Amino acid sequence: MHNAPTIAYIGIGGNLGDARATVEDAIARLAALPQTELLRCSSLYRTAPVDSSGDDYINAVAQLSTTLTASALLQALQAIELQHGRERPYRNAPRTLDLDVLLYGQDRIDSDTLTVPHPRMGQRAFVLAPLLEIDAAMVIPGLGAAAPLLAAITDQPISKL
């Protein structure tokens, strides 16, 4: 018996080194994950750091169909981060690559290693704008429609590349 695939949304971002090339490579690696199909990917966006420092970030969101469990997907994302030299010296440090499980189907997950929906996604233009590009009617479990959430964020400049 095979598990039915789950639609997952992955937040992608980085601001160290050649961030654009890193984000593009990460998207290719997401497409190559086992038991996973890359369905859609947003445009790339440039955003100023939020609760962080350093250069502007390059961000995107990918929509995946996967039969990986949420924790297996997280492990795969962390392996891709490590391949790009991700270090975690302190919370919200500048980074070569950040891959976050934003949504995993309609599931709500609260474990030691993973919280879904991502706890701050409703407050981040760099998540909501690319998410709405993929699905203009996106509803985030527990938060509601994404479009009004993005409209309420007026202090986070974001530009499509």
* Tokens linked to 25: 């490579």
* Per-residue model confidence as pLDDT tens digits over 109-123: 999 999 999 999 999
User: Is the pLDDT reported for residue 1 higher than 60?
Assistant: no
**Mean pLDDT across 8-22:** 94
* Per-residue model confidence as pLDDT tens digits over 141-151: 999 999 999 99
Q: Give dist(CA 89, CA 92) in Å, integer.
A: 9
Q: Give dist(CA 82, CA 86) in Å, integer.
A: 5
How is the chain split among helix, strand and coil, in percent rounded to 5? 30, 30, 45
Cβ-Cβ contacts under 8 Å for 107 (sequence gap 6 or more): 6, 70, 116, 141
User: Is the pLDDT reported for residue 55 higher than 70?
Assistant: yes
**Residues of the chain with pLDDT > 70: what percent?**
93
Confidence of residue 10 (pLDDT cuts 50, 70, 90): very high
Mark out the alpha helices in 86-141 (DSSP H runs).
125-134
Active site residues per annotation: 86, 95, 98, 100
Is residue 131 a contact partner of residue 61, using CB atoms and an 8 Å limit?
Answer: yes
- Cβ-in-10-Å burial (0-12, 13-18, 19+) of 134 comes to middle
Q: What is the separation, in whole angstroms, between the first and last Cα of the chain?
A: 43
What CATH code would you report for 6-160?
3.30.70.560
* Per-residue model confidence as pLDDT tens digits over 84-135: 877 766 666 667 899 999 999 999 999 999 999 999 999 999 999 999 999 9
pLDDT at 16: 87
